């Protein structure tokens, strides 16, 4: 039985994660351990976490769209690649051991932290750089598919992979890359949720408690994203990358 204190813990954790996920990524490195504290196995926590991610994505997308920061011209091609990846990733999560999932998560987060520290231009373009379209940037196709696959497989830290694809490969500015990131996250989260619901892996009460915090956190994060200076945003993303990696190491 889940008591009131655990519900409050999940709401607060979800709020923090909603801000982190909307501005950069890695919030699930907090929420999945919080769910596991409740005694959930890793696969159940991984699936239950998607409820908050889904509703948080709706909240963030609505905020970016309200402020005119959601580009849509290239969205169908981006979504096709990430949804396909998400389906394959969710199916892989059903057959992959929890121990393997941990190593994939840890390796991915460490790699992103190293890229952010030593080669940040690969992920974060200058604000005056023109973005590229997917159809003429075939090098972005495997990156977008891999981002969807990773999101369907684990979710935790997928924001960094998506930023690498959207800001790094397609050269969108950070605000628009974050807006597109949330649409991609929403798409492959729906795909993975269908599979996890069919497998009866989701505990809805803790999932909805997380979601409540996620929604509010995402809405506040949008206001931060559209007002903060790009150079400060770059520092925030770097700090969040390092902290997310530290969280993975701590909870490993």
Nearest to 50 by CA among 130, 151, 176: 151
pLDDT digit string (tens) for the chain, length 252 residues:
567 888 898 999 999 999 988 887 778 878 888 888 888 888 898 899 999 999 999 999 999 999 998 988 888 888 998 889 888 988 888 888 877 877 776 777 677 667 767 776 666 655 555 566 665 577 778 888 988 898 888 776 778 788 878 887 787 888 888 899 999 989 888 888 998 999 999 999 999 999 999 999 999 999 988 887 767 766 777 777 677 667 666 655
| Residue showing tokens 């497989």 | 153
Mutual angle of helices 28-37 and 42-66, in 10-degree steps: 140
Nearest to 133 by CA among 162, 172, 161: 172
> SS3 for 155?
coil
pLDDT at 103: 76
| Residue showing tokens 């950070």 | 174
pLDDT at 10: 93
- Locate all alpha helices (DSSP H) within 96-173, ordered by sequence: 98-118, 140-153, 158-163
Q: Domain segments of the chain: what residues?
A: 4-251
Distance CA 111, CA 174 (A): 20
pLDDT at 76: 87
E strand or H helix that includes residue 113: helix 98-118
């Amino acid at each position: 039985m889940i008591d009131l204190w655990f519900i409050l813990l999940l709401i607060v954790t979800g709020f923090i994660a909603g801000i982190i996920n909307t501005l950069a990524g890695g919030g699930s490195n907090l929420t999945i351990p919080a769910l596991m504290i409740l005694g959930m196995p890793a696969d159940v926590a991984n699936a239950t976490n998607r409820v908050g991610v889904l509703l948080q994505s709706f909240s963030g997308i609505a905020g970016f769209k309200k402020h005119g920061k959601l580009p849509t011209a290239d969205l169908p091609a981006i979504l096709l690649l990430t949804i396909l990846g998400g389906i394959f990733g969710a199916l892989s999560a059903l057959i992959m051991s929890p121990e393997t999932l941990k190593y994939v998560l840890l390796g991915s987060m460490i790699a992103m932290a190293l890229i952010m520290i030593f080669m940040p231009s690969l992920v974060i373009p200058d604000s005056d750089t023109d973005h590229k379209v997917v159809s003429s940037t075939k090098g972005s196709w495997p990156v977008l598919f891999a981002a969807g696959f990773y999101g369907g497989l684990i979710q935790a830290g997928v924001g960094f992979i998506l930023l690498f694809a959207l800001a790094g490969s397609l050269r969108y500015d950070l605000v628009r890359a974050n807006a597109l990131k949330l649409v991609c996250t929403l798409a492959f989260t729906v795909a993975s949720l269908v599979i996890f619901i069919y497998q009866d892996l989701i505990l809805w009460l803790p999932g909805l408690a997380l979601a409540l915090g996620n929604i509010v956190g995402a809405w506040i994060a949008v206001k931060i994203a559209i007002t903060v200076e790009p150079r400060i945003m770059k520092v925030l993303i770097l700090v969040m990358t390092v902290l997310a990696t530290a969280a993975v190491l701590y909870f490993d």
